[in-house]
Structure 1
């Protein structure tokens, strides 16, 4: 018999893909990796968990991004305030998830430029949430704890208050006593510059 775990059935995934990748000089979401764009890679990983809804927050170059998502089982939301930074996308994605699935008890936030995220890792966030009853479960890499990260509905009001270019990491620090972590050493690999991308391609 499966454990009674409401998170498993009522957890949404929000993929943050609204930024313009200014340091990279082109849309990181569209960079090819293993035969897919990083955006499609993230979407396919999220969809493979079976969790719904999967919400994709778009902003800069959103028309190009939408072309990538035709036929994908996702809910697209446009963040009109994307230039404000990551905080606006967190709010936008959470609001859309709540609108589509009012019963949502938790949200996993993930980004496009951590190409080593797997469906198993995302499900591990849920299992750890259930096992520890902590309202935040974050991925840990090096000295950092960050995305992918699960926030229970207890923290939705705090997430909706985030402003500016502040991501989930601020809340993870603010509520340090309330955080469980899972190891994800490959989480430190992200794509901010052309050399980051070249390094990623050489590793595979």
Structure 2
């Protein structure tokens, strides 16, 4: 009997923003001995995903000087000021140039408790379900990290610049599997957010 072929999975890590509310590059904030962006990259590389693309934009030179980009792909969103969807679309287009993907996982660089076990759980849930979206649930929301099969690639590419993956998740909620991930609510937008994060240091 032939083995079922493992779906080809790509990860897009969004890291193009200029951290305007924070005042410094959130990508380079340190938590547990590693900066947030390097941690996100390591998670992607340690997961069972096949390809990882990081999308840079603002503060690119500063970020590049402090990050190990080996074994991943880097794309630049020249129009990062247009919003998150524009960066997501740059990353998805890059992945589609690299390989014929079955699915993509959208990650942020500032969710420090995302780990490779969570990413693999999303991949496994998709493979054992008929759902074409796998989203994380935290608080009363569904959001990223989120997995989308190729069925929804066009929907992601049609988002306007200021929209995010959440719009597709909610529009097609009946096609969505859910993983509970309460720590997904922890992200870094302000200095106060960062202070709260480092108070949880493990």
TM-score (norm 2): 0.95
Task: Give me the whole-angstrom Cα distance separating, in 1, the residues matched to 2:21 and 2:81.
Answer: 14
Q: Which residue of 2 aligns with 1:30?
A: 28
Task: Give me the whole-angstrom Cα distance separating, in 2, the residues matched to 1:28 and 1:111.
Answer: 11
Aligned equivalent of 2:188, options 171, 191, 199: 191
Matches within 5 A, 1:40-51: 40-51=38-49
Q: Which residue of 1 aligns with 2:83?
A: 85
Task: Give me the whole-angstrom Cα distance separating, in 1, the residues matched to 2:123 and 2:85.
Answer: 23
Deviates more, 1:159-168 or 1:149-158: 159-168
Task: Give me the whole-angstrom Cα distance separating, in 2, the residues matched to 1:156 and 1:94.
Answer: 8
Question: What are the superposed Cα offsets for residues 85-110 of structure 1, whole Å, 9 maximum, x if unpaired?
Answer: 00101110000000011x21000010
Q: Which residue of 2 aligns with 1:69?
A: 67
Task: Give me the whole-angstrom Cα distance separating, in 2, the residues matched to 1:185 and 1:40.
Answer: 22
Q: Give the CA deviation at 1:2.
A: 11
Aligned equivalent of 1:109, options 106, 110, 114: 106
* Cα gap change, 1:36 to 1:135, in 2 (>3 Å): same
Q: Which residue of 1 aligns with 2:95?
A: 97
Q: CA-atom RMSD, angstroms?
A: 1.5
2:39 match: secondary structure: helix
1:117 match: secondary structure: coil
Q: Which residue of 1 aligns with 2:127?
A: 130
1:13 match: secondary structure: strand
- Structure 1 unaligned residues grouped into runs of 5+: none
Count, aligned residues: 201
Matches within 5 A, 1:169-184: 169-184=166-181
Looking at secondary structure, tell me which structure has more helix per residue: 1
* Cα gap change, 1:174 to 1:70, in 2 (>3 Å): same
Aligned equivalent of 1:149, options 128, 133, 146: 146
Q: Give the CA deviation at 1:51.
A: 1.8
1:132 match: secondary structure: coil
- Structure 2 unaligned residues grouped into runs of 5+: none
Task: Give me the whole-angstrom Cα distance separating, in 2, the residues matched to 1:203 and 1:3.
Answer: 44
Question: What are the superposed Cα offsets for residues 35-72 of structure 1, whole Å, 9 maximum, x if unpaired?
Answer: 11100000001100142210000000111222233352
Q: Give the CA deviation at 1:34.
A: 1.1
Aligned equivalent of 1:166, options 163, 168, 173: 163
